[in-house]
C-alpha cells in the first residue's frame, strides 16, 4: 500500500469529512462515559476510545487501499462474507439469545458490520460494470438476489437492523446506476410486499415492538418502555440540556441500552436541543461530504462505492435518531460512530476510510 | 490512457440524494424541537416523576390514656421488611422466603396486590433475628430494606378490648367515604371501638420522604423530608385498675359489665367477655384466627355492653316502680297479696313462690312478680312505655362508641306497625316484670339505675374525658324526690335483706336489683334444667354508696341462672375493688363466706 500513496493523495484528503467524523466519534466516547458513569462498568469509555483509535487506523488503511484494486476482488469479498456469516450462524456463541458474534482472541467481532463494507464494494463493482444508460428491473434482479442472501443470513442471527441496512445501500447504488424511475417505484412496491410477506415470520418480540410503537401504553414496562423512556429523556433535556452527567434518565438507569442503541438519548438529555442540532449538523456534514465525494469521483465505481456507503450510513443515522425521538419502532440498530460497540465503530470509520480512498484518487490514473 | 466515464446521470441523481438527506435531517430537527422545546416542561415533569418517589412516614396514632394517665393503647416501634418490587424475581422471593420464614406464596400474593411503584411490605413486625439475617445478606438482597414503623400496641391485651377497639388497614368500602378522605390504600385506621369513633382525632399527620430512586427502584438519595406529627392522645374516664378487677370478676364466664359515675355519665369500666386481643389485628390478622373469632358461638368480637340486647327481667321493676309512683297508681304503702301466682286475662302468671302481703319496698327486695303484675295492669302499656323511654330504653344511649344497639321498648303502636295485631292487656303483665318483647343493653340498664342513684337525672354515658365536645350533662327527668327515695329504699332492701344479698359489703352500703332474663319458655327449661344454653341470664344493677352514690353498675352473666346467684357476686367484687375493700387489711365482705383470697 505504501507504493500507492503520493503527496497528491495527502493534499486531496477531505479534512472536513475526517474532522467531522472524528468529532462525532469523540462525542460518542464522551456520551458512552456519561451513559456508563453510574453503572457497573464506568470505564467502558476507555475501551471505546481505544476502539476509536483502532478504527482510525482502519480508516487510514482503507483510505490508502486503492478502491479499484479492492473492487477487483469483489467476488472474493462476497464469498468470504457468506462464509463468515454461515460460520457465525453455525458456530457463533449465543449471546442474549442471538448469534451475531465470533470470538477472536478474547474480542467479540460482529462480522455483519464488515459484511456491510464488503457488500458496498460488491454492489458498486457489479453496477459499475453495466454499460447501458438506464437499467430496468431485470438488470437488478441478480445483484439484488446476491445482496438478499447476505441480508437473509444476517436476519437469521437474528439482527434485523443490520440486515435492513443493506436495502438502502443497494437501492441508492441501483438508483445512481440509472435504474428507471418506474423501476424504482416498482422496487419500492416489491419491498413493501416483501415486508408484508415477512410479517408472519417475524419473531413475537419483533411484532410486539411494532404493536407497542403504535401504542406504547400497551406495555409501559416492557417493549413500550424504551420508547417512553427515550422520549422522556429527550424531552426533559430541553433547550440547553441538563449538563454532562446531569441527566436523571441516563444516570438513574431509566434509559435502556443507553450506551449502545440509545446513546443519542443521553446526548439529547444532557446536551439539549443545542447539542442535538450540533450532532445532527455534524452527521449531515459527514453525509454531505460523502455525497460530494461521490459527485467528484473519477469513475462510476468510486461514485457507487461512496454512495452505497453513504446510503447505509444515512439510513442508520436517520433511523436510529428517529427511533430515539419516538418516530419509528425500536429496532436494535446502533448509531454509527457514537454507539458503544467495537465492530460498529471500526466498520463506520473504515467506511469513511473507503470514501476518502475514492476522494484522494479522483485525479489519479 | 485515461477514460472519462459519462457521470452526468450519476451526478444529477446524487444532487437529489443530497437534498433528500437535508430534508430528512431537517425533519428530525423539527421533531427534536417539538420534544425538547415545545413539550420540554411536560417531559421534565415525567422525568421528575420517574426519579422521585414519595415514601410515607406513618404518624403514630394518639395514645389512649386512662383517667390517671396510664397508657391503655400506645405505639411501639416495629420493623417492616420492605421489598422494592420492580426487580423481584423468583430467586429473590425464594431467598427472602428462606431468610424470613415467610411462605413464598404469601410474598407473591403481596407482590401481586401491590400498587405500581410502591414498595411492598413483605413481613410486618419482623423480629430482631429477621433484621440481623437480612443485614448479613445485604449484598445478595439489595432490593430489600427494613423500615421502622410505629405499631399500635394494647398493653392490657384483651382487657377493655371492645371499648378501646382495634385498628386495621382501611377497607375498599371505606376509601371513598368522606371521613377517610385523603388516605391511601394500606393506611391504618380504627376499625372498632374508640379507635374507630375517634379515628380522625387520633390520627396524626403522616410525614413523607421524597427520595431519588434509580430505575431498579433503589433509593440513591433523599431530596426532602417532612417529619410525621404524632396524633394527640385521648384521656378516657376508664379506670384501668377497676377495669382489670371487672375482667377478673367474670372468671371466664360470658357476659358483660359496665360501671359509670352516676353524677356525670363517665364510664369507669366496661367489660365484655369473651374478648379478643386487639394486638392480633395491628399487623393484619391471620385468616384462621379471624375465622375462629368470627364463627365463635360466644361472639368474642361483639361488645355485649352496647350490642347485647337481653330481656331486662326483674331489673325492669325499677322502671315499673318509678312509673307507678309518678303516675300515682300506687304509693310506697300500697300493698298487694301474692299467693304465688296471678290469674288474669284467662292466663295464670307465676311468681317464684307465695310472698304474702307485699308493699313496694318488700316487693322490690323480694322481686315479687305478682306485685308488679298488679302495677302493670294499673299502669297499662302506654304509661309504662313512656317512663321506660324516659329512662332510656328503646333508644341508643349515645355513648361515644360505634354500632350501638337501641334495644326495644314495645308499645301498642309498635305492635300494630310490626305485627299488624292489637296489643293484649296480658302482654303488659309480662312487660311489667321485664319479660316479653322488652329488651335492653347492659349500658341502657346502667343508665336506668343511675337515674335512681343521682336523684332522677338521665346520664349521657361517655368514655372520652372532655374530648370531642365533651359529655352532655345529665338530663333531669322531673321525677319526684319521694319516688326516688321509695325505689332506693327497695333497692337498699334488695341487698340488705333480699335477693341481692350476695352483693353486700361490710363497709359500704350497696343498693341493687337482681333480674333473670329467660332465654326459653319456662316449660322448655323444665324439661332440660341443666342445659347451659337454656339457662336464663343473670342480671344485677347496683349503685353505692347508698346515700351518696359515686358508682352505678350493670352486670350481666349469660346463662347465670338467677341474677342473685351469678351477677350479684360479680358486682360485689367490682364494688369491693372500687371502694378499696379487696386489698389486704381491708374490712371483709359481710354476709358471704370469704371463699376467695382476692388478688
CA atoms of A109 and A94, how far apart (whole Å):
13
Subunit contact A238:B13, Cβ cutoff 8 A: no
Joined together, the cell numbers standing for residue A279 give 450532532
Nearest by CB: A235 against B7, B15, B36: B36
Instruction: Single out the residue of A153, A148, A228 nearest to residue A190, CA to CA.
Output: A148
Q: How distant is the alpha carbon of residue B369 from its chain centre?
A: 36
Burial (Cβ within 10 Å: 0-12, 13-18, ≥19) of residue B236: buried
How far is C-alpha B599 from the chain's CA centre? 28
Residues B193 and B249 placed together within one structural domain of the fold: no
> Minimal Cα–Cα distance from B137 to chain A, Å?
20
B262 neighbors B251 (Cβ within 8 angstroms): no
* Side-chain-facing half-sphere of B450: CA atoms under 13 Å: 33
In A, which residues are within 8 Å of B212 by CB distance? 248, 252
Across the interface, of A232, A239, A325, the residue whose CB is closest to B28 is A325
Retrieve residue A34's grid coordinates: 456519561
Whether residue B165 sits in one domain with residue B259:
no
Q: Tell me the longest C-alpha to C-alpha distance in chain B.
A: 155
- How distant is the Cα of A360 from the closest Cα of chain B, in angstroms? 17
DSSP annotation of B236: B
Q: Which residue of B has its CA nearest to A229?
A: B47
| Same-domain pairing of B177 and B250 | no
Task: Note the pTM of the prediction, 2 decimals.
Answer: 0.66
- The answer to whether position B288 is within a domain reads no
Interface predicted TM-score (ipTM): 0.91
Q: Is B268 strand, coil or helix?
A: strand
Task: Give the per-residue pLDDT at B592.
Answer: 45
Q: Give chain B positions within 8 Å (CB) of A239.
A: 36-37, 40
**CA-CA distances (angstroms) from residue A362 to A13, A69, A121?**
11, 15, 17
Q: How far is CA B452 from the centre of its chain?
A: 28
Domain that holds residue B394: 240-275+302-578
Cα–Cα distance for residue pair A78/B318, rounded to 1 Å: 114
CA-based nearest distance A181→chain B, Å: 11
Cis-peptide, bond into residue A124, ω within 30° of zero: no
DSSP annotation of B541: E
CATH code of B338's domain: 3.40.710.10
The answer to whether residue B346 is domain-embedded is yes
DSSP of B142-201, one letter per residue? TTEEEEEEEEEE-TTTTTTHHHH-EEEEPPTTTTTSGGGTTPPTT-EEEEEHHHHHTHHH
Q: Does A339 touch chain B (CB under 8 A)?
A: no
Question: Is the Cβ of A24 closer than 8 Å to some Cβ of chain B?
Answer: no
- Three-state SS string over chain A comes to CHHHCCHHHHHHCCHHHHHHHHHHHHHHHHHHHHHHCCCCCCCHHHHHHHHHHHHHHHHHHHHHCCHHHHHHCHHHHHHHHHHHHHHHHHHCCCECCECCCEEECCEEECHHHHHHHHHHHHHHHHHHHCCCCCECHHHHHHHHHHHHHHHHHHHCCCCHHHHHHHHHHHHHHHHHCCECHHHHHHHHHHHHHHHHHHHHHCCHHHHHHHHHHHCHHHCCCCHHHHHHHHHHHHHHHCCCCCCCCCCHHHHCCCCCCCCCCCHHHHHHHHHHHHHHHHHHHHHHHHHHHHHHHHHHCCCHHHHHHHHHHHHHHHHHHHHHHHHHCCCCCCCCCCCCCCCCCHHHHHHHHHHHHHHHHHHHCCCCC
Dihedral Cα A11, A15, A17, A21, nearest 10 deg: 130
**Kind of pairing between the strands at B144-153 and B71-83:** antiparallel
Q: Alpha-carbon distance B414 to B409, whole Å?
A: 9
For residue B529, what is the DSSP state? Answer: T
Domain-wise residue ranges, chain A: 2-360
Which of B34, B47, B88, B223 would you mutate first to test chain A, the one with the most A CBs within 10 A? B47
CA gap B96, B84 in Å, rounded: 12
Is A268–B32 a contact, with Cβ atoms under 8 angstroms apart? yes
Q: Do B259 and B148 share a domain, yes or no? A: no
Shared domain for B214 and B260, answered yes or no, is: no
How far is the CA of A230 from the CAs of A250, A267, B25, in angstroms? 9, 11, 19
CB contact under 8 A, A365 and B2: yes
Closest CA to B463 of B238, B157, B166: B238
Residue pair A307/A173 in contact (Cβ under 8 Å)? The answer is yes
**Do residue B35 and residue A234 have CB atoms under 8 angstroms apart?**
yes
Backbone angles phi, psi at A155, to 5 degrees: -65, -25
Give the mean pLDDT of A201-230. 70
Burial class (CB in 10 A: 0-12, 13-18, 19+), B91: exposed
Which chain A residue has its CA at the smallest distance from B45's CA? A236
Nearest to B216 among A236, A253, A307 (CB): A253
In a domain, B518, yes or no: yes
Which residues of B sit within 8 Å Cβ distance of A? Answer: 2, 5, 7, 9-11, 13-15, 17-18, 21-22, 24-25, 28-29, 31-33, 35-37, 39-40, 42-44, 46-48, 50-51, 212-216, 220
B2: nearest CA partner in chain A: A365
**B39 neighbourhood in chain A, CB within 8 Å:** 235
Beta-carbon contacts below 8 Å between A and B: 137
**Cα–Cα distance, A321 to A263 (Å, whole number):** 9
pLDDT value at residue B280: 87
Asked whether the CA dihedral A48, A49, A52, A53 is positive or negative, the reply is: negative
Give pLDDT tens digits for A287-341.
Answer: 999 999 999 998 999 999 999 999 999 999 999 999 999 888 888 889 999 999 8
Give B144→chain A minimum CA distance, Å. Answer: 18
Mean pLDDT of chain A, nearest integer? 87
Q: Which residue of B has its CA nearest to A287?
A: B21
**What is the spatial distance between Cα A224 and Cα A216, in angstroms, rounded to a whole number?**
4
SS3 (DSSP) at B543: strand
Residue numbers in A near B214 (CB within 8 A): 38, 252-254
Question: Cα distance from B91 to chain A (closest Cα, Å)?
Answer: 20
pLDDT at residue B310 in the model: 95
How far away is chain B from the Cα of A234, in angstroms, using its nearest Cα? 6
For residue A164, the tally of other CB atoms under 10 A from its CB is 19
Number of neighbours of residue B125 by Cβ within 10 angstroms: 16
B226 with B316, same domain: the answer is no
- Minimal-distance CA residue of chain B relative to A177: B10
Q: How far apart are CA B394 and CA A206, in angstroms?
A: 73
The per-residue pLDDT for A72 is: 94
Task: Write out the three cell numbers for B435.
Answer: 319479660
Residues B125 and B263 grouped into a single domain: no
Chain A residues with beta carbon closer than 8 angstroms to that of B143: none
Contacts of A272 in chain B (CB under 8 A): 36
Residues 257-296 of A with CB under 8 A from B: 268, 272-273, 276-277, 280, 283-284, 287-288, 291-292, 294-295
How far apart (Å, rounded) are the C-alpha atoms in residues A153 and B563? 97
In a mutational test of the B interface, the residue from A224, A228, A229, A232 whose CB has the highest number of chain B CBs within 10 Å is: A232
At A250 the pLDDT is 84
**Do A291 and B17 count as a contact with CB atoms less than 8 A apart?**
yes
Same domain, B82 and B227: yes
Q: What is the CATH number of the domain that holds B181?
A: 3.90.1310.10
Task: Tell me how far apart the alpha carbons of residues B542 and B442 are, in angstroms, rounded to a whole number.
Answer: 12
Q: Total domain count for chain B? A: 2
DSSP B115: P
pLDDT digit string (tens) for chain B, length 599 residues: 345 567 788 888 899 999 999 999 999 999 999 999 999 999 988 888 777 777 778 889 999 999 999 999 999 888 888 887 666 777 888 888 888 888 888 888 777 766 555 677 888 888 888 888 888 887 777 778 888 888 899 998 888 999 999 998 888 888 888 888 878 777 889 999 999 999 988 998 888 888 877 776 677 778 788 888 999 999 999 999 999 999 999 988 999 999 999 999 999 999 999 999 998 888 777 778 888 888 888 999 999 999 999 999 999 999 999 999 999 999 999 999 999 999 999 999 999 889 999 999 999 999 999 999 999 999 999 999 999 999 999 999 999 999 999 999 999 999 999 999 999 999 999 999 999 999 999 999 999 999 999 999 999 999 998 654 556 889 999 999 999 999 999 999 999 999 999 999 988 999 999 999 988 877 777 787 778 888 999 999 999 999 999 999 999 999 998 999 999 999 999 999 999 988 766 554 444 443 332 22
Which of these, B106, B199, B207, B271, lies nearest to B467 by C-alpha position? B199
Closest to B21 (Cβ–Cβ): which among A288, A297, A365?
A288
CB B157 within 8 A of CB B277: yes
Separation between Cα atoms, residue A62 and residue B348, nearest integer Å: 125
What pLDDT, on the 0 to 100 scale, is given for residue B105?
Answer: 82
**Closest chain A residue by Cα to residue B28:** A322
The predicted-structure confidence for A54-108, as pLDDT tens digits, reads as follows: 999 999 999 999 999 999 999 999 999 999 999 998 888 887 778 888 887 777 8
The rounded Cα B404 to chain-centroid distance in angstroms is 9
Cα separation of B364 and A209, whole Å? 89
* Residue B522 CA to its chain's centroid (Å): 34
Distance of CA A128 to the CA centre of its chain: 23
Of B15, B25, B46, the CB nearest to A283: B25
Q: Decide if B213 and A252 are in contact by the 8 Å CB cutoff.
A: yes
Q: A305 vs chain B: nearest CA distance in angstroms?
A: 12
- What residues in A contact B114, CB-CB < 8 Å? none
Task: Establish if B136 belongs to a structural domain.
Answer: yes
| Cβ-defined contact of B43 to A283 (cutoff 8 Å) | no
Is residue B116 packed enough to be buried (19+ CB in 10 Å), middle (13-18) or exposed (0-12)? Answer: exposed
Contacts of B42 in chain A (CB under 8 A): 235
Q: What are the respective helix, strand and coil percentages of chain B, to the nearest 5?
A: 40, 20, 40
Asked if the bond preceding A158 is cis, omega within 30° of 0, the reply is: yes
Q: From the candidates B5, B32, B42, B52, which should be mutated to test the interface with A, based on the most A CB atoms within 10 A?
A: B32
pLDDT, one tens digit per residue, over A14-28 is: 999 999 999 999 999
CB atoms inside a 10 Å sphere around CB A3 = 7
Q: Residue A274 is placed in which grid cell?
A: 443545542
| Residue linked to cell 322488652 | B438
What pLDDT score does B578 carry?
95
Query: How many degrees, rounded to 5, is the angle at CA B273 between CA B270 and CA B278?
Result: 80
A249 to chain B: which residues are within 8 Å by CB?
Answer: 47, 50
Q: Which of A229, A252, A296, A365 to mutate to test the interface with B (most CBs of B within 10 A)?
A: A252
Asked if A318 lies within 8 A of B25 by C-beta distance, the reply is: yes
For chain A, how long is the longest CA-to-CA vector? 61
Q: Are A331 and A262 in contact (CB under 8 A)?
A: no
Same domain as B549, residue B428: yes
Nearest CB to B9 within list A178, A283, A318: A178
A residues 171-230 closer than 8 Å to B (CB) = 172, 175-178, 229
Helix A15-36 / helix A342-360 crossing angle, nearest 10 deg: 170
Which chain B residues touch A178 with a CB distance below 8 Å?
9
Amino acid at each position: 500500500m505504501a507504493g500507492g500513496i503520493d503527496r497528491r493523495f495527502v493534499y486531496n484528503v477531505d479534512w472536513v469529512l475526517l474532522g467531522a467524523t472524528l468529532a462525532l466519534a469523540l462525542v460518542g466516547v464522551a456520551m458512552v462515559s456519561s451513559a456508563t458513569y453510574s453503572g457497573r462498568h464506568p470505564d467502558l469509555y476507555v475501551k471505546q476510545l481505544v476502539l476509536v483509535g483502532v478504527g482510525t487506523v482502519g480508516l487510514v488503511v482503507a483510505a490508502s487501499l486503492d478502491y479499484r484494486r479492492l473492487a477487483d476482488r469483489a467476488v472474493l469479498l462476497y464469498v468470504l462474507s457468506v462464509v463468515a456469516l454461515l460460520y457465525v450462524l453455525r458456530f457463533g456463541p449465543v449471546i442474549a439469545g442471538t448469534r451475531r458474534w465470533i470470538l477472536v482472541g478474547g474480542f467479540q467481532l460482529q462480522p455483519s458490520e464488515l459484511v456491510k463494507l464488503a457488500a458496498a464494494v460488491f454492489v458498486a463493482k457489479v453496477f459499475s460494470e453495466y454499460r447501458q444508460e438506464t437499467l430496468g428491473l431485470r438488470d437488478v434482479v441478480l445483484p439484488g438476489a446476491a445482496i438478499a442472501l447476505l441480508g437473509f443470513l444476517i436476519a437469521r442471527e437474528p439482527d434485523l437492523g443490520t440486515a435492513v441496512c443493506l436495502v438502502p445501500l443497494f437501492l441508492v447504488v441501483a438508483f445512481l446506476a440509472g435504474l428507471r424511475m418506474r423501476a424504482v417505484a416498482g422496487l419500492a412496491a416489491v419491498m413493501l410486499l416483501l415486508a408484508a410477506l415477512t410479517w408472519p415470520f417475524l419473531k413475537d418480540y419483533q411484532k410486539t415492538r411494532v404493536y407497542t410503537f403504535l401504542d406504547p401504553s400497551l406495555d409501559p414496562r416492557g417493549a413500550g418502555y424504551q420508547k417512553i423512556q427515550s422520549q422522556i429523556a429527550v424531552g426533559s433535556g430541553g433547550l440547553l440540556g441538563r449538563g454532562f452527567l446531569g441527566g436523571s434518565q441516563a444516570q438513574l438507569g431509566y434509559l435502556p441500552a443507553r450506551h449502545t442503541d440509545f446513546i443519542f438519548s443521553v446526548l439529547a438529555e444532557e446536551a439539549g436541543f443545542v447539542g442535538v442540532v450540533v450532532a445532527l449538523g455534524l452527521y449531515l456534514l459527514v453525509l454531505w461530504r460523502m455525497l460530494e465525494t461521490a459527485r467528484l469521483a473519477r469513475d462510476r465505481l468510486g461514485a457507487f462505492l461512496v454512495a452505497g456507503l453513504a446510503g447505509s450510513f444515512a439510513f442508520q443515522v436517520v433511523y436510529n435518531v428517529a427511533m430515539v425521538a419516538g418516530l419509528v419502532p425500536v429496532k436494535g440498530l446502533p448509531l454509527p460512530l457514537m454507539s458503544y460497540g467495537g465492530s460498529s465503530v471500526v466498520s463506520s470509520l473504515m467506511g469513511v476510510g473507503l470514501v476518502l480512498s475514492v476522494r484522494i484518487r479522483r485525479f489519479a490514473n | 490512457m485515461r477514460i472519462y466515464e459519462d457521470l452526468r446521470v450519476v451526478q444529477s441523481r446524487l444532487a437529489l440524494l443530497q437534498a433528500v438527506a437535508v430534508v430528512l435531517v431537517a425533519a428530525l430537527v423539527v421533531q427534536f424541537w417539538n420534544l425538547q422545546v415545545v413539550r420540554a416542561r411536560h417531559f421534565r415533569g415525567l422525568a421528575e416523576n420517574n426519579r422521585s418517589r414519595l415514601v410515607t412516614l406513618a404518624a403514630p396514632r394518639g395514645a389512649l390514656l386512662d383517667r390517671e394517665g396510664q397508657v391503655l393503647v400506645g405505639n411501639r416501634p416495629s420493623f417492616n421488611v420492605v421489598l422494592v418490587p420492580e426487580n423481584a424475581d423468583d430467586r429473590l422471593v425464594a431467598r427472602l422466603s428462606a431468610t424470613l420464614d415467610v411462605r413464598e406464596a404469601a410474598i407473591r400474593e403481596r407482590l401481586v396486590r401491590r400498587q405500581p411503584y410502591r414498595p411492598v411490605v413483605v413481613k410486618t413486625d419482623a423480629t430482631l433475628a429477621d433484621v440481623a439475617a437480612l443485614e448479613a445478606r445485604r449484598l445478595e438482597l439489595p432490593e430489600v430494606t427494613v423500615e421502622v414503623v410505629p405499631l399500635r400496641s394494647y398493653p392490657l391485651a384483651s382487657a377493655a378490648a371492645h371499648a378501646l377497639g382495634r385498628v386495621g388497614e382501611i377497607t375498599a368500602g371505606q376509601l371513598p367515604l368522606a371521613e377517610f378522605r385523603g388516605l391511601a390504600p394500606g393506611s391504618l385506621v380504627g376499625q372498632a371501638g374508640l379507635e374507630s369513633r375517634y379515628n380522625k382525632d387520633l390520627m396524626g399527620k403522616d410525614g413523607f420522604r421524597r427520595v431519588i430512586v434509580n430505575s431498579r427502584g433503589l433509593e440513591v438519595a433523599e431530596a426532602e423530608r417532612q417529619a410525621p406529627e404524632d396524633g394527640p392522645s385521648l384521656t378516657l374516664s376508664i379506670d384501668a385498675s377497676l377495669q382489670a378487677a371487672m375482667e377478673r370478676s367474670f372468671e371466664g364466664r360470658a357476659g358483660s359489665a359496665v360501671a359509670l359515675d352516676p353524677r356525670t355519665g363517665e364510664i369507669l369500666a366496661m367489660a365484655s367477655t369473651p374478648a379478643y386481643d386487639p394486638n392480633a389485628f395491628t399487623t393484619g390478622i391471620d385468616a384462621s384466627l379471624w375465622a375462629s373469632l368470627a364463627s365463635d358461638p360466644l361472639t368474642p368480637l361483639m361488645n355485649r355492653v352496647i350490642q347485647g340486647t337481653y330481656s331486662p327481667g326483674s331489673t325492669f321493676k325499677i322502671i315499673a316502680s318509678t312509673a307507678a309512683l309518678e303516675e300515682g297508681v300506687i304509693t310506697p304503702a300500697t300493698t298487694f297479696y301474692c299467693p304465688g301466682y296471678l290469674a288474669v286475662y284467662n292466663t295464670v302468671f307465676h311468681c317464684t313462690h307465695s310472698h304474702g302481703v307485699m308493699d313496694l319496698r318488700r316487693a322490690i327486695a323480694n322481686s315479687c312478680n305478682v306485685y308488679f303484675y298488679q302495677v302493670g295492669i294499673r299502669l297499662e302499656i302506654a304509661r309504662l312505655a313512656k317512663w321506660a323511654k324516659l329512662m332510656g330504653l328503646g333508644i341508643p344511649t349515645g355513648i361515644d362508641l360505634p354500632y350501638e344497639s337501641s334495644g326495644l321498648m314495645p308499645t301498642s303502636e309498635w305492635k300494630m306497625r310490626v305485627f299488624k295485631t292489637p296489643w293484649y292487656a296480658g302482654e303488659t303483665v309480662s312487660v311489667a316484670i321485664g319479660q316479653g318483647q322488652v329488651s335492653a343493653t347492659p349500658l341502657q340498664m346502667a343508665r336506668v339505675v343511675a337515674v335512681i342513684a343521682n336523684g332522677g337525672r338521665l346520664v349521657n354515658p361517655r368514655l372520652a374525658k372532655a374530648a370531642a365536645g365533651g359529655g352532655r350533662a345529665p338530663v333531669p327527668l322531673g321525677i319526684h324526690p319521694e319516688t326516688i327515695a321509695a325505689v332506693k329504699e327497695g333497692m337498699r332492701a334488695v341487698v340488705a335483706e333480699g335477693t341481692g344479698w350476695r352483693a353486700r359489703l361490710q363497709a359500704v352500703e350497696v343498693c341493687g336489683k337482681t333480674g333473670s332474663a329467660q332465654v326459653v319458655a319456662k316449660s322448655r327449661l323444665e324439661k332440660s334444667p341443666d342445659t347451659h344454653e337454656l339457662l336464663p341470664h343473670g342480671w344485677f344493677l347496683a349503685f353505692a354508696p347508698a346515700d351518696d352514690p359515686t358508682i352505678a353498675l350493670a352486670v350481666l352473666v349469660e346463662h347465670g341462672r338467677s341474677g342473685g346467684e351469678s351477677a350479684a357476686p360479680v358486682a360485689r367484687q367490682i364494688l369491693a375493688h372500687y371502694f378499696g375493700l379487696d386489698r389486704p387489711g381491708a374490712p371483709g365482705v359481710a354476709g358471704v363466706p370469704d371463699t376467695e383470697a382476692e388478688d
